[in-house]
Chain A
């Protein structure tokens, strides 16, 4: 905790009372969130409190955008966990190593949002993957690349709508990691395919102008929906 406070101080904030607030934020907030989430009658109205019931994506401000990316990262974690079970598909050693690293990155993203968003966060969502063929490396890698490209597209759509600089920076820092994941996965499927924007039209890549995928947060949620067992409430679209 002390180290977190030191690092938080490094962000150009040296006020002592702020240190105390940050201690409260990191130590108290998630506990408070768990308690509050259970008290439905304490739930927020639009004008006063913002306590997420765990299922709501509210686009009235940037929190809805961040929750959209949080949902996407949770989906990635669930898929990576599913991939990790497929031990008999004949992966190379490098593929096993890198797939695991991708999984850790997605877990880092997901846990980051859980902590950062605190009581405004979605809860832990459940996923399954109907219609995805897990019987071969090729079909599995294709699904993996699709989910990474979805994450890039969602991030890019979110970046265009962010109103807070700090949140834009965080999303941008995640977006390029997902793009690197997608590139590696695509190279596993077909060498030389990682820069082929023409193959990414499902997420509105523009091959002619060499612009990457981008979908609105609402569309991103629609694309995630087939895999979400939990139904989300989307408000203020």
Chain B
């Protein structure tokens, strides 16, 4: 459904204007005839080329390669720790971290195939040296606290990036199918990392949730204006919005034009619960910029 056509067709319904002052019967007749379009007319303004990028490269290829780059970013953090810093990960956590690393290796393989399936050239393999993992601290491989917090940023970015990639790959069933099923695995990984950070019970993270949420104090007081529960301001772009029109920071409480906070009189759905219930995407153009700025070294930056 072309959203603008749907609106245009609502405008001129049998010569009648859609005034609220119409009689109830006329109003119902309008909805009866165009009810479905009216009910579902308000969609997120995620309309592909709406963000004005001139597409010299197929957006599907771009989006898949961006997800692939994220795959390398994630893989190397874990792989390097497992292979080269055997004292970093506690025994109880090792099987999970190894499994995350292995699953990310599989995802890389799947994404390479996916790019090829839509006629693209996969990104050249990115080595560990392509990435800067030391942004929170140089102790990323010797301090479990720093390692996990770095992992959290990278996983959270990965989920948003993959989510923003999905619409670009619509129409390419062979590539979309694996991307869909990689996307929710990333969310499981992200949750596991967050649960592990909470398990350390370090200052400022004692109330960290498995779901992306607003900042909470260690006493549990939530600030629903603070969408960055990683506590690191320099990384806030991971949790922020694409632009002023989309207003899609992670503390957003409207979805598809519907206000979720207090929806239908359910007052126990607070702004934070409303924000938590829906994970946000990042447009590929934004996600690429965030990855380049925060994690990718010169010489490897995505163009």
Contacts and interface: CB of A to CB of B under 8 A. Distances in A.
Nearest to A10: B247
Interface size range of chain A in the complex:
35 or more
Interface string A190-211: 0110111100000000101111
B211 A209 contact: no
A108 B33 contact: no
Contact of B32 (A49, A162, A173, A179): A49
A86 interface: no
A169 B184 CA distance: 13
- Identify the interface centre among A32, A114, A180: most chain B CB within 10 Å of its CB: A180
A10 B256 CA distance: 11
Nearest to A121: B39
A130 interface: no
Interface in A111-153: 111-112, 114-121, 152
B35 A120 contact: yes
Interface stretch (B128-136, B140-148, B228-236, B277-285): B277-285
A223 interface: no
Contact of B258 (A115, A162, A197, A209): A115
Contact of B20 (A23, A182, A187): A23
A35 B177 CA distance: 40
A165 B63 CA distance: 15
A169 B44 contact: yes
A116 B166 CA distance: 21
Interface in A184-237: 184, 187, 191-192, 194-197, 206, 208-214
A105 B43 contact: no
A87 interface: no
Contact of A7 (B38, B96, B254, B273): B254
A180 B188 contact: yes
Given A101-B209, A108-B269, A180-B211, A195 B188 contact: yes
Contact of A21 (B10, B109, B177, B191): B10
B4 to A, nearest CB: 9
A62 B89 CA distance: 45
Nearest to B107: A210
Given A104-B273, A105-B211, A116-B40, A194 B96 contact: yes
Contacts of A13: 45
Given A4-B257, A36-B32, A152-B184, A112 B263 contact: yes
Contacts of A108: 260, 263, 269, 273-274, 277-278
B210 A180 contact: yes
A24 B257 CA distance: 13
Interface in B239-293: 245-247, 254-260, 263-264, 266, 268-270, 273-274, 276-281
15 contacts: A24-B20, A36-B31, A49-B33, A50-B36, A98-B209, A112-B258, A112-B277, A117-B39, A160-B173, A164-B1, A169-B166, A170-B256, A173-B255, A180-B211, A212-B183
Given A156-B180, A169-B46, A176-B186, 13 more contacts: A11-B257, A21-B7, A51-B32, A63-B40, A108-B278, A162-B170, A170-B44, A172-B180, A172-B281, A179-B191, A180-B188, A184-B210, A208-B106
Q: Which 8 A-B pairs have the closest CB atoms?
A: A166-B43, A118-B39, A210-B106, A50-B36, A183-B191, A176-B187, A108-B277, A211-B181
